[in-house]
């Protein structure tokens, strides 16, 4: 049975600060919460939380995620968290962009010439003295970031969609 914080439900809408046994005339103002009530409350709360996180297709379509090829990797000792400075080629339309990526579980050799996915239409972000122009995408696994890579046939500049 789902956990439900409520133990009494008001029978009159708007009466929230009620105690068991309160009555208007002969009619009780509250009743005990049943298992069914509890399931409905929990489901409604989950739905409300889920709806707050909903992204519309239009929201998603505004994010420009492109395939890029890492063409240079530099150490980034000034970064607060261990990271690499990457130069990524996104093809003739977008050219070469810079990214700071916390992917130190990869060696420079493993990163060089690798295809990656990156968000290319976020504003630049200053990290120390370096301006990161794109957000290189990855997933988190424990303390590591695992890069998201497209199929080998993908070309720099291809758009995710």
Architecture category of domain 60-147 in CATH: Beta Barrel (2.40)
Q: Are 119 and 99 in contact (CB under 8 A)?
A: no
- The secondary structure of 37-98 as a DSSP string is HHHHHHHHHHHHHHHHT---HHHHHTS-EEEEEEEEEEE-TTSSS--EEEEEE-HHHH-EEE
pLDDT in tens, 120-146: 999 999 988 899 999 999 998 888 899
Q: What residue ranges do the domains of the chain occupy?
A: 8-54, 60-147
**CA pair distance 80, 128, nearest whole angstrom:** 8
pLDDT of 101 above 80: yes
| Higher per-residue pLDDT: 104 or 155 | 155
pLDDT at residue 42, as a whole number: 58
Residue 62: both structure tokens together: 């505004």
> What residues contact residue 159 under an 8 Å CB cut-off, 6+ apart?
64, 65, 66, 67
pLDDT at residue 43, as a whole number: 62
pLDDT in tens, 26-47: 555 556 666 676 666 656 656 5
pLDDT of 86 above 60: yes
**CA pair distance 35, 20, nearest whole angstrom:** 18
């Amino acid at each position: 049975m789902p956990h439900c914080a409520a133990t009494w439900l008001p029978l009159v809408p708007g009466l929230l600060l009620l105690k068991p046994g309160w009555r208007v005339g002969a009619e009780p103002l509250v009743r005990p919460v049943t298992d069914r009530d509890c399931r409905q409350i929990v489901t409604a709360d989950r739905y409300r939380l889920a709806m707050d996180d909903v992204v519309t297709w239009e929201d998603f379509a505004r994010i420009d995620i492109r395939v890029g090829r890492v063409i240079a990797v530099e150490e980034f000792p000034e970064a607060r968290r261990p990271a690499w400075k990457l130069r990524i080629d996104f093809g003739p339309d977008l050219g070469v962009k810079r990214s700071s990526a916390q992917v130190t579980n990869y060696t420079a050799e493993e990163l060089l010439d690798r295809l990656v996915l990156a968000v290319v239409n976020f504003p630049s972000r200053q990290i120390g003295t370096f301006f990161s122009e794109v957000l290189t995408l990855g997933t988190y696994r424990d303390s590591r970031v695992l890069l998201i890579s497209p199929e080998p046939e993908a070309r720099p500049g291809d758009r995710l969609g």
